[in-house]
Amino acid sequence: MTRNLGEEPKPSILETAKQLRAELSEDYHDKVMTAIYADAAQIADTTISRDTKKANLTFDRALDRILTHPIGGFVAMGLMFLIVFWITIAGANIPSQMLGDLLLGTVYNLLHQLATALSLPVWLSGFLIDGIYLATAWVIAVMLPPMAIFFPLFTLLEDFGYLPRVAFNLDRLFASAGTHGKQSLSMMMGFGCNAAGVISTRIIDSPRERLIAILTNNFSICNGRWPTLILMGTIFIGALAPPALASLVAALSVVTIAVLGIVMTLIVSWGLSKTWLKGETSVFSLELPPYRPPQILQTLYTSIIDRTLIVLWRAVMMAAPAGAVIWLSSNIMIGDASIAAHLVNLLNPIGWFLGMNGVILVAYIVAIPANEIVIPTILMLTMTLGKVAGAQAGVMIELDDAQVYHVLTEVGGWTLLTAINLMLFSLLHNPCSTTILTIWNETKNLKWTMVATFLPIAMGVAVTFTTTLVAHLLGFV
């Protein structure tokens, strides 16, 4: 017999199920689970035999005892990241220099010779070479070496199985902040890219806790911001120490900012979960995977191809138009000054209150699409507006660290305070436009997108204003 589908057999099934369900005891679900566990245990028991002599978990266990220790775990964590940044800073120094010499020296001069040979008009060669090319070359010289060292190191740690231990350590802190322990995982993704970090909050089921994770992801320093911190840490803070310790001190300052970001994440999460986003804290279980010997060659390949080059490509795509905009705004005059000069003058008073200057604020506006171009923009504007000898309007010149220091302090009037505030502002300002768009896509909520955008700026203003005030009161400046 064939059953007619329109005959609706379904309600009777649902009806029967309802009746039967009423007769079942409360712990039905548990009984079903128990039956599954019992069968799984029975099958596992009869298929596994253990060679106790060979059982060699001691290494994993001993390592976990240190790495997930309530205190030792944090010490190990700090050391691990310090070492990663130290290697990055110390190792990137020489290749950065070489790349700078090549792209900003040799190639740049060749391009100008070529332009002269082709007798291009000055405005065109200026726009193309001094604007677009130089901005792009700068970004590559500044970013490529540290990224090419940092990413593989970070990926090796990940491959080894260290990240879940970090999440395990931080879980307690997140729990006391009233949020989901998985937030530590999305936070860690944010250390690569905030947009990716925001997407990865999908692993958090509770909408309340997920929203907290989205709103605080920006406190993870992303790829675009590491170069700013590394440069400031190297030329202003590392330089305070004796040469032998310089890279280490520089690394320490970068790690301090990153840790401050974690502290901010926790404070803001705590604040949100006590006010706007009150609710229950979910429990979750996190499995610590075994330590696995990292596959070094494969890791090098994938992290350089997949991460470094993709990040670099994005930076270059942003730098080229930004270079054009900076060059144009430095060369188009309104009245007696260029557009850039007007903007800088307009923002100078605000910058002064925050212990920075108008140039830095303009750079952060130009860098809304990508934080990677903050430093090139600052240098370019400082030099053109400060009328550095030999610098044409809107031209970024070949600089090594010592010269950058010289330009910023002598021409830009920077002090140690300016550098520290820039590092703090780099941590605490609006997310890049890609991240804002991602937050919108994930929340579809204008209010929360706005909060995610403006809350960090408000915090950045408050923090830099305070440090400036304190520095002035104590007479450091």
Partner 1 sequence: MTMQAMPATCQTCPAYNAASLKKLGVSTEGADYVIALAGNPNTGKSTVFNALTGLRQHVGNWPGKTVARAEGGFTYHDKTYKLVDLPGTYSLLSTSTDEEIARNFILFGQPSVTIVVVDATRLERNLNLALQILQITDRVVVALNLMDEAKRHGIEIDVRHLSRKLGVPVIPMAARQMQGIPELLDAIDNVARNKVATKPHHIRQQDSQVEYALNTLVEEIEAAYPGLPNARWVALRLLDGDESIEQAISENRLGTLAETATIMQQPAPEPIIAVEAIS
Residues that bind partner 1 (CB under 8 A): 3, 5, 9-14, 16-17, 20-21, 23-25, 28-29, 31-41, 43-57, 158-161, 163-164, 167, 182, 185, 199-200, 202-203, 205, 285-287, 289-290, 292, 295, 302, 306
Q: How far is the CB of 417 from partner 1 (least distance, A)?
A: 39
Q: How far is the CB of 58 from partner 1 (least distance, A)?
A: 11
Q: Which is nearer to partner 1, 275 or 285 (CB)?
A: 285
CA distance 228 to 151: 16
Q: Which is nearer to partner 1, 31 or 278 (CB)?
A: 31
Task: Classify the C-alpha dihedral 98-103-106-109 as positive or negative.
Answer: negative
Q: Which is nearer to partner 1, 31 or 69 (CB)?
A: 31
Q: Which tokens hold the place of 77?
A: 């964590």
The answer to whether the CB of 273 falls within 8 A of the CB of 212 is yes
Q: Which is nearer to partner 1, 45 or 336 (CB)?
A: 45
CA distance 45 to 43: 5
338 forms beta bridges with: 333
Q: Which is nearer to partner 1, 37 or 353 (CB)?
A: 37
The answer to whether the CB of 372 falls within 8 A of the CB of 78 is no
Q: Which is nearer to partner 1, 151 or 364 (CB)?
A: 151
Eight-class DSSP state of 217: G
Q: Which is nearer to partner 1, 26 or 336 (CB)?
A: 26
The answer to whether the CB of 405 falls within 8 A of the CB of 383 is no
Q: Which is nearer to partner 1, 10 or 444 (CB)?
A: 10
Q: How far is the CB of 431 from partner 1 (least distance, A)?
A: 19
Eight-class DSSP state of 1: -
Contacts of 378 by beta carbon, 8 Å cutoff, 6+ apart: 359, 360, 363, 408, 412
User: How far from 119 is each of 109, 115, 116, 327, 351, CA to CA, in Å?
Assistant: 15, 6, 5, 20, 42
Q: How far is the CB of 154 from partner 1 (least distance, A)?
A: 11
Q: How far is the CB of 266 from partner 1 (least distance, A)?
A: 20
Q: What one-letter code names the amino acid at 431?
A: P
Minimal CA–CA distance to 463: which of 438, 409, 426, 435? 426
Contacts of 417 by beta carbon, 8 Å cutoff, 6+ apart: 355, 467, 468, 471, 476, 477
Q: How far is the CB of 191 from partner 1 (least distance, A)?
A: 13
Report the half-sphere exposure of 431 (CA within 13 A, side-chain side). Answer: 29
CA distance 142 to 315: 11
Minimal CA–CA distance to 431: which of 450, 414, 415, 416? 450
Q: How far is the CB of 156 from partner 1 (least distance, A)?
A: 10
CA distance 421 to 356: 7
Q: Which tokens hold the place of 160?
A: 């080894």
Q: Which is nearer to partner 1, 23 or 336 (CB)?
A: 23
Q: How far is the CB of 238 from partner 1 (least distance, A)?
A: 32
Reported as type and span, the H/E element at residue 337 is strand 337-338
Q: How far is the CB of 459 from partner 1 (least distance, A)?
A: 28
Q: How far is the CB of 200 from partner 1 (least distance, A)?
A: 6
Q: Which is nearer to partner 1, 28 or 454 (CB)?
A: 28
